[in-house]
Structure 1
Amino acid sequence: MKRPADIQQRLLRAWYQQRSWLVLLRPLSALYCRFAMRKRQRYLDAPSASWQPPVPLIVVGNVTLGGTGKTPMVIWLVEHLRSRGLRVGVISRGYGGKPPSLPWRVQPTRDTPEQTGDEPLLIASRCQVPVVIDPDRPRAGRYLLEHAAVDVIISDDGLQHYRMGRTLELVMIDHARGLGNGRCLPEGPLREPASRLDSVDLRIRTGAPADEDGFYALRLEPAELVNMKTGEKVRPDAWRAPPRVQAVAGIGNPERFCKTLENLGFVPEIHAFADHAQYNENSFAAFDHGEPLLMTEKDAIKCAGFARENWWYLSVDARMSESFVEALHARLDRHLPPRQNPISEPE
């Protein structure tokens, strides 16, 4: 019996390799596309029906299924805006999490990935900012504003959640995969028609070498390898262990993690799990434990309680161009009161 991860990856490959048999799904795709367009049009026709927060709200979303780098982008935005003196909060659906109640404010020292979902816990742990999860994002936003002083809200995903008003829309696209076959679900990977890209504020290609054609480049730079048992940190170029490693990737685009490790000189045996997969002590029992086990930071946060001494995660830092920073400032400044405009000041 095939694992869900295997089925997921086969479907993703079909979309991004533009397999001809997908045309059989075109009638369903056409219905889905019309539904998505009508949903957005209802928002455009009656914007007052959406909750608009009293502070700027930035949506970091995508139009495709599969990993596009939303979480690194959210982390970069949080750190960048905080460096300019702004108080930042994050809202998220909390995919896969089962908190005791909703809305739920994530507490890194208390909560588990099973309660909050992996990405909200990672963002809260790494950035130390208030993170609230709730599938009802307006409710999450109101709760955040009631319980924390914030100048800007960032929504991790939610581009298609039109009950939530937004100030800026940032859309992420994987540079290598693009839009696949350019078709809506289920024939292709699109959540909305490709024309949706024309209406967003900023478009970002994850993994692109440079800005071009109206897209800004987000580069993911490996920062350090962190031992999950001891906390030891090692620069990837200072790795002294054998290059052959076992590699775990429970993310939307495991190929990107594999390519990153290869570029660092590793020889990985990649084990792809479903995005947001939950792990336990037996999840990696069949792997060769004579070799180090490397994983993403998003995976590591779910394995901290049973990590072994030769398990490591690779932390990465997002890098954005100066032109992106300028474009962000130009769009955001006008929505901030004058006293909150340190974002316009040079570093």
Structure 2
Amino acid sequence: MSFRSAIEKRWYAKKPGVLSALAPLEFLYEGVSRIRRARLESKQTPLSVPVVVVGNITVGGTGKTPLIIALIKHLQKNGFHPGVVSRGYGRNSQYENSVHCVGSLSTPAEAGDEPILIFHQTSCPVAVADDRLDAAQRLIENFSCDVILSDDGLQHYRLPRDMEIAVIDGRRTFGNEHLLPVGPLREPVERLNEVDCIIVNGDVSKLTVGSLVKKSVQVAVKPVGLCDVKSSTRLPIDAISDAQDPIAISGIGNPDKFFSTLKGLSVKFETQVFDDHHNYVLDDITQFVGRDVIMTSKDAVKIQQLIKENPNNDKLTNTGLWYLDIQLDIPDAFLDAFVNSVRKLFQQKKTAIKK
């Protein structure tokens, strides 16, 4: 077991165990976080369009990106022209002080994996910057976006927001309910009393706080296909049963979520876990030559770049590379209510500008 795995095991146990010794650091972290929030909120600049922040209060993956994609598509379907801002976690440091507008030729080094994934699946303008406020202003000015969605950024308090949506992993919820580094929380559970809606990715029954349950919406991951990373050819989901000696790889924040989804398809496979936002190199993949490698769509973004940079590598050619295409099964009532709320916010902004 790696050091990171051992830490996460204590984070998501009932009690922190040996991590309790770090309680003074947890106390310090909370104090610094409160000061930071107050300082950043004082620097907020109002924007002319509604801003919706989709984030979480825990470290690691909860399913924010599939939700963002679903919200974008529903907004587009209803006549909106949304834009997305993101920090672009994992991009090279040389790009961190600039705003990068994602395009068809953008690389993970320039933009990070999630922004590229969102752009390719929605054709939505996406701007990446350390300062999401700068990114949002660029989208409004250059792309005439009429609503901004922030991919993550619940704690990026410099960005003003008109709506907050928190995403929770229904299986892991809040772990031992301690703040970093004793637990997985970026902010106390009470922070969720401030958000407009809580999306529970999975089982909602573990969310026992009554006030939070009332504002919660349950969603579920639904595998819808298997896509060839090399050619983008899409196969029906039952084609996964024909995979040759499959190995599932994951470089996401919550790999167990991905592996559980695969197990639900009755697939027998080995696993290889990489760090979240792992920068794949050739040896990471060519070691599986002759086998079928199944990954998430987020991992596929970086593997596709690897293929572009090594077009004649025989080992890559002889390795099956597939990503599991998923959708979130979201209640229509929530999506309709979301669009109606955004429409009201847009009208309020428009009226305020006229005054």
Structure 1 residues 300-309 or 124-133, which shifts more? 300-309
Report how many residues are paired.
Answer: 331
Q: Is the 8 A contact 1:8 1:274 kept in 2?
A: no
* Structure 2 residues not aligned, in runs of 5+: 208-212, 308-315, 351-355
> Residue type matched to 2:301 in 1?
I
Deviations 1:165-209 (A, max 9, x none): 001001111110000000110000111111101011111111237
Question: 1:146–1:157: structure 2 CA closer, same or farther, 3 Å change rule?
Answer: same
Alignment of 1:322-337 (within 5 A): 322-329=332-339, 331-337=341-347
Partner-residue secondary structure (3-state), 2:284? coil
CA–CA distance in structure 2, aligned partners of residues 19 and 245 of structure 1? 35
Partner-residue secondary structure (3-state), 1:177? coil
Partner-residue secondary structure (3-state), 2:326? strand
1:344 — aligned with what? Answer: none
Is 2:322 the partner of 1:321?
Answer: no
Alignment of 1:75-114 (within 5 A): 75-98=69-92, 102-107=98-103, 109-114=104-109
CA shift for structure 1 position 268? 1.8
CA shift for structure 1 position 326? 4.6
TM-score for the superposition, normalised by structure 1:
0.89
CA–CA distance in structure 2, aligned partners of residues 74 and 7 of structure 1? 31
> Residue type matched to 2:291 in 1?
E
* Structure 1 residues not aligned, in runs of 5+: 341-347
> Residue type matched to 1:186 in 2?
P
Q: Is the 8 A contact 2:50 2:349 kept in 1?
A: no
2:247 — aligned with what? Answer: 246
Structure 1 residues 70-79 or 325-334, which shifts more? 325-334
2:210 — aligned with what? Answer: none
Question: 1:9–1:52: structure 2 CA closer, same or farther, 3 Å change rule?
Answer: farther
CA shift for structure 1 position 125? 1.1
> Residue type matched to 2:325 in 1?
S
CA shift for structure 1 position 111? 1.3
2:6 — aligned with what? Answer: 10
CA shift for structure 1 position 324? 2.1
Structure 1 residues 111-120 or 228-237, which shifts more? 228-237
CA–CA distance in structure 2, aligned partners of residues 220 and 119 of structure 1? 17
Structure 1 residues 212-221 or 238-247, which shifts more? 238-247
Alignment of 1:134-213 (within 5 A): 134-208=129-203, 213=214
Q: Is the 8 A contact 1:209 1:219 kept in 2?
A: no
CA–CA distance in structure 1, aligned partners of residues 158 and 274 of structure 2? 32
- Percent of aligned pairs with the same amino acid: 36
> Residue type matched to 1:77 in 2?
L
> Residue type matched to 1:258 in 2?
F
Partner-residue secondary structure (3-state), 2:135? helix
CA shift for structure 1 position 66? 1.0
Is 2:65 the partner of 1:68?
Answer: no
Structure 1 residues 259-268 or 93-102, which shifts more? 93-102
> Residue type matched to 2:88 in 1?
G
Deviations 1:7-28 (A, max 9, x none): 3333222201244111111111
Q: Is the 8 A contact 1:244 1:266 kept in 2?
A: no
CA shift for structure 1 position 312? 0.6
Deviations 1:234-259 (A, max 9, x none): 11223352574101110000001111
CA shift for structure 1 position 70? 0.9
Is 2:321 the partner of 1:311?
Answer: yes
Q: Is the 8 A contact 1:243 1:266 kept in 2?
A: no
Question: 1:314–1:209: structure 2 CA closer, same or farther, 3 Å change rule?
Answer: farther
Partner-residue secondary structure (3-state), 2:24? helix
TM-score for the superposition, normalised by structure 2:
0.87
1:292 — aligned with what? Answer: 292
> Residue type matched to 1:190 in 2?
L
Question: 1:232–1:43: structure 2 CA closer, same or farther, 3 Å change rule?
Answer: closer
CA–CA distance in structure 2, aligned partners of residues 242 and 104 of structure 1? 38
CA shift for structure 1 position 285? 3.8
1:232 — aligned with what? Answer: 233
Partner-residue secondary structure (3-state), 1:337? helix
1:25 — aligned with what? Answer: 22
CA shift for structure 1 position 142? 1.1
Q: Is the 8 A contact 2:117 2:301 kept in 1?
A: yes
Could you say which structure has the higher helix fraction? Answer: 2
CA–CA distance in structure 2, aligned partners of residues 127 and 118 of structure 1? 14
CA–CA distance in structure 2, aligned partners of residues 112 and 41 of structure 1? 35
CA shift for structure 1 position 270? 1.2
